[in-house]
A and B are shown apart, each in its own frame.
Chain A
Amino acid sequence: MHGPKGDDACPRTPRRSRSAHPRRSRRTAAALAGTAALALFSAACTGTPQGGGDDGSAQGKAVTITFWHGWSQDNETKAINDNIAAFEKSHPNIHVKVVGNIADDKSEQALRAGGADAPDVVSSFTTDNVGKFCSAKVWSDLTPFLKKDGIDPAKTFPSAMLTYSAYQGNQCSLPLLGDAYGLYYNKTAFAAAGITAPPKTFGEFEADAVKLTVPQGDGFKQLGFMPNYHGYESTPSHFLGQYGTDYFGKDGKSDIATDPKVAAMYTWQKALVGKLGGFDKLEKFRTGFGDEFSAKNPFTTGQVAMAIDGEWRTASLADDKPAFEWATAPFPVPDDQAATYGRGYQTGTIIGIANSSRKQTAAWELVKYLTTDTDAVVTFANAIHNVPSTLAALDSPKLDADPNFKTFLDIAKNPNSSTTPASVNGGAYQVSMQNLGYEFESGKQADLQAGLQATAKEIDAAIDQAK
């Protein structure tokens, strides 16, 4: 903790009258609280002006629009800038001012504040925010634009991607490249353990995970799989992608306590934790892992022989060159859903138009180009090793043909692949489910059904509060 600095923090003469001291301290407390409260509200009390209207770009008028995105790596910014250059070439009267490395928090604040410097087009890596943006009408509904240009979303985008880019029929964003989750496995370790093919069902997966686990002292020389929910991408949402859970009923209420798939997932995960050494032993091993997005990732270092991860890891592994052979496959599915093998959890980047933008015609041209132009989508996907976000681009022969990457293209095309649906309060329901997971895997919550019911109630109350 760090204390106050400056003269008032170091009084040289401590003898003050009894009556004066309390008043001064009260004023100090009041001033601190007041400053904190002002800071909280100074940014919050502004409205969002309605934009829209014809900006004249369709008639050839020169228009400059601002595009904010979150990419920051050199290859990523080069890829997006190349795409923008191609767009400007095909739309000579529309100029795009690109601002990169913008986190969601910053763009949200800018959209609240509005003004001349606010962006016209915004992209976000966090699909969980779609519900907030759509319900508050911060991003424009793109349905009229799609209709005007004769674009049928259902025939253009994979269904899971459409699910996470809309909220209750309001298509306020479109997918701009996607992420798919699958299995990464250590082929060298597989061979050493006598395993000849990647597992397809949870039953096979558990058996392989146990075979691949090599104890050492109180820990592991090699762990087959890290099932604990803090094991990086081993989250309830990612596991539930293998079950095809809906999360909400038709009435909009959480159905996690009544959907047997949810209870099955929590039960399966906990059983796997037990088979691989127990929560405490696994947790101690997990805390020794290096940074997820570095060469110290536990799969890259060989600490775990299998991992659930996104397609971007193929590029990282190609760069990091681990000391073993590796490959990818769809993550296994529950034994009673073996026919759905090939599915996976999907998410991605979304892009939309600020409702406050007064240049929405030009902004839509950019959004349309980035999200529906097959060449633009394929070039961008190849450049940053993400999954293309249109059905046409997914079938393009120009796509990266690496077999490990192709695994994820197939997952994205699989009609059984699923996602976490948009919610009015963002990903709060996933936090609630995650917290239940921590309680259940560690043994603090022994009664799963009671936990699921309490969590469903918690999710409904939070959504009711946000409406």
Chain B
Amino acid sequence: MALLGTPRPAALRRKRRREAGRTLAFLSPWLIGFAVFFAYPLISTVYFSFMKYDGFTAPTFTGLKNWNYLFHHYPFFWQGLRNTLWLVVVMVTLRTVFGLGVGMLITKVKSGAGFFRTAFYLPYLAPPVAATMAFAFLLNPGTGPVDHLLGELGLPQPGWFTDPSWSKPALTLLGMWGVGDLMVIFMAALLDVPKEQYEAAELDGAGPWQRFRFVTLPNISPIVLFAVVTGVIQTMQYYTQAIVAGKVASGVIGGSGQQFEPGYPHGSTWTLPQMVYNLGFQRFDTGTACAAALILFAISMAFTTLLLRRRSGLLGED
């Protein structure tokens, strides 16, 4: 008897082709997006990082000249890298801790929780430029209300955005003020922690710190990781607040013979994304801007990979 269920090779190939076609059709939205928004820009960025290209004239191959200039001659590279890493470490840590702390407090508030949620979430909705200008006004030494208040209380009056030692802490303060996004995420995670686990821990004699350490933290660890990873990626792209604060505090409008100082004061708010903009759109040195963008990308990827690989060690998860 012939094997009725055995398809012929040609028919099998046709079937496989149809299935492959269907699979590709279903995947095409992602594939097109990947090609257009990731593969092409990344390949272009690598390509142009070895070219001299000013956006006006045809690109010419220059080998490693752009990379050499970036590492050895561009006066703001290392400072921008140091500032960005400072912000990644300090701002992401403080924002995460503060967001979690506010989220925990609000979930425990018995009355008026709605008011506190709104009060802490509203600043997040403020446009970054407006929020930064408001902070620059409030903290302005000499004329700012915060400065006056500190003076009245007999406390030191820092230069905030005008003092290189205080400019990054001032930006961090601004970041913590707009922590509403993290607060909402943490609140959702905290409310998902099973109550019975707290009850069991209490029966075992666990105190508040032990309940947080052995019940809350393991349950919300994926959210902590999410907050840290997205925070690192956002901070690596930190641009608007830093440049607005620098411009407002420096008072320099710009024009011939009057150049805006990158990262005012003394380069302390200069970040890698500003460097990419400065090279690409102010100096029209697109090739070196590409090299800088690749460095930014590589550091972001390295941080993300490190965090994801070490998450159990960092967060105490199994």
Which chain A residues in 88-129 approach chain B with CB under 8 Å? 105, 111-112, 125-128
Q: Is B84 an interface residue (CB 8 A)?
A: no
Which one of B8-16, B109-117, B196-204, B301-309 contacts A? B301-309
Residues of B within 8 A of A44 (CB): 53, 55, 280, 286
Whether the Cβ atoms of B222 and A21 lie closer than 8 Å is yes
Report the bound CA distance from A232 to B258 in whole Å.
Answer: 8
Q: What residues of chain A lie closer than 8 Å to B69, measured between beta carbons?
A: 461, 465
Query: What distance in Å separates the Cβ of A170 from its nearest Cβ neighbour in chain B?
Result: 14
CA distance A285 to B184 in the complex (A): 42
- Asked if A34 and B178 make an inter-chain contact with CB atoms under 8 angstroms apart, the answer reads no
B residues near A289, Cβ cutoff 8 Å: 251
Query: Which of A34, A126, A136, A428 counts the most chain B CB atoms within 10 A?
Result: A34
* Docked pose: A33 CA to B297 CA in angstroms: 6
Check A28 for interface membership: any CB of B closer than 8 A. yes
Spot the interface stretch: B21-29, B100-108, B207-215, B224-232: B224-232
Is A38 in contact with B91, judged by CB distance below 8 angstroms?
A: no
Contact of A36 with B by CB under 8 A: yes
Does B18 sit within 8 A of A, measured CB to CB? no
Task: Mark each residue of chain B from 281 to 302: 1 if its CB lies under 8 Å from any CB of chain A, else 0.
Answer: 1111110111001001100110
User: Could you say which of A12-20, A56-64, A72-80, A385-393 contacts chain B?
Assistant: A12-20
Q: Which residues of B contact A292 (CB under 8 A)?
A: 251, 253
Which residues of chain B have C-beta atoms less than 8 A from A105's C-beta? 281
Asked if B276 contacts A40 (CB within 8 A), the reply is: yes
Check B309 against A48 for contact (C-beta < 8 Å). Answer: no
A309 to chain B, nearest CB (A): 11
A235 touches B45 (CB 8 A): no
Query: Which of B250, B276, B283 counts the most A-chain CB atoms under 10 A from its CB?
Result: B283
Contact in complex: A237, B258 (CB < 8 Å): yes
Residue from A238, A428, A439 with most neighbouring chain B CB atoms (10 Å): A428
Contact A232 B251 (CB under 8 A): yes
Contact indicator A34/B41 (Cβ below 8 Å): yes
A195 within 8 Å of B by Cβ? Answer: no
Q: Is B235 an interface residue (CB 8 A)?
A: yes
Interface of B is mostly: helix
- In contact, B257 and A235 (Cβ under 8 angstroms): yes
- Interface centre among A33, A430, A461, by most chain B C-beta atoms within 10 angstroms, is A33
Interface size on B, residues (CB 8 A): 96
Cβ-defined contact, B37 with A29, below 8 A: no
> What sequence of 0s and 1s flags, for each residue 446-467 of chain A, a beta carbon within 8 Å of any chain B beta carbon?
0000000000001001100110
The distance in angstroms between the C-alpha atoms of A466 and B285, with both chains bound, is 7
Near B by CB (< 8 A), chain A positions 1-56 give 1-5, 9-16, 21-22, 25-26, 28-38, 40-41, 44-48
Q: Distance (Å) between the CB of B17 and the closest chain A CB?
A: 28
A225-B268 Cα distance, complex, nearest whole Å: 27
Q: Is B48 an interface residue (CB 8 A)?
A: yes
The docked-state distance in angstroms from the alpha carbon of A462 to that of B56 is 19
A348 and B255 alpha carbons, distance in the complex (Å)? 9
Whether A1 contacts B257 in the complex (CB less than 8 A), given A10-B184, A28-B233, comes out as no
> A274 vs B251: C-alpha distance in the bound complex, in angstroms?
22
Contact A2 B42 (CB under 8 A): no
Tell me how far the C-beta of A430 lies from the nearest C-beta in chain B, rounded to whole angstroms: 5
Are B181 and A420 in touch, CB under 8 angstroms?
Answer: no
Contact of A293 among B36, B184, B253, B259 (CB under 8 A): B253
Report the minimum CB–CB distance from A226 to chain B (whole Å).
Answer: 11
Given A420-B257, A431-B262: A3 and B234 interface contact (C-beta under 8 Å):
yes
Q: Are B73 and A127 in contact (CB under 8 A)?
A: no
Cα(A106)–Cα(B184), bound, Å: 39
Residues from chain A with a CB closer than 8 A to the CB of B225 are: 21
Contact assessment for A15 and B222 in the assembled complex, using a CB-CB cutoff below 8 Å? yes
Q: Does B118 contact A (CB under 8 A)?
A: no
In the assembly, what is the distance between CA of A440 and CA of B24, in Å? 63
User: What B residues does A3 contact at CB under 8 A?
Assistant: 124, 181-182, 230-231, 234
Among residues of A, the one whose C-beta sits closest to the C-beta of B125 is A2
Would A40 and B293 be within 8 Å (CB), given that A1-B238, A11-B223, A112-B56 are in contact? yes
CA distance A48 to B305 in the complex (A): 41
Q: Report A-chain residues with C-beta under 8 Å of the C-beta of B189.
A: 14
User: By the criterion CB–CB under 8 Å, are B37 and A9 in contact?
Assistant: no
- Docked-complex contact B181 and A128, CB < 8 angstroms: no
B: which residues have CB within 8 A of A?
Answer: 36-42, 44-45, 48, 53-58, 65-66, 69, 73-75, 91, 95, 124, 128, 140-143, 159, 162, 174-175, 178, 181-182, 184-185, 188-189, 192, 219-223, 225-226, 229-231, 233-235, 237-238, 241, 249-259, 261-262, 264-267, 276, 280-286, 288-290, 293, 296-297, 300-301, 304-305, 308-309, 311
B-binding residues in A (CB < 8 A): 1-5, 9-16, 21-22, 25-26, 28-38, 40-41, 44-48, 105, 111-112, 125-128, 132, 136-138, 164, 179, 219, 230, 232-233, 235, 237-238, 241, 283-289, 291-293, 345, 347-348, 419-420, 425-428, 430-432, 434-435, 438-439, 442, 444, 458, 461-462, 465-466
Could you list 11 A-B pairs, sorted by A, with CB under 8 Å? A21-B222, A29-B301, A33-B38, A34-B42, A38-B36, A38-B40, A126-B255, A137-B57, A235-B257, A347-B256, A466-B54
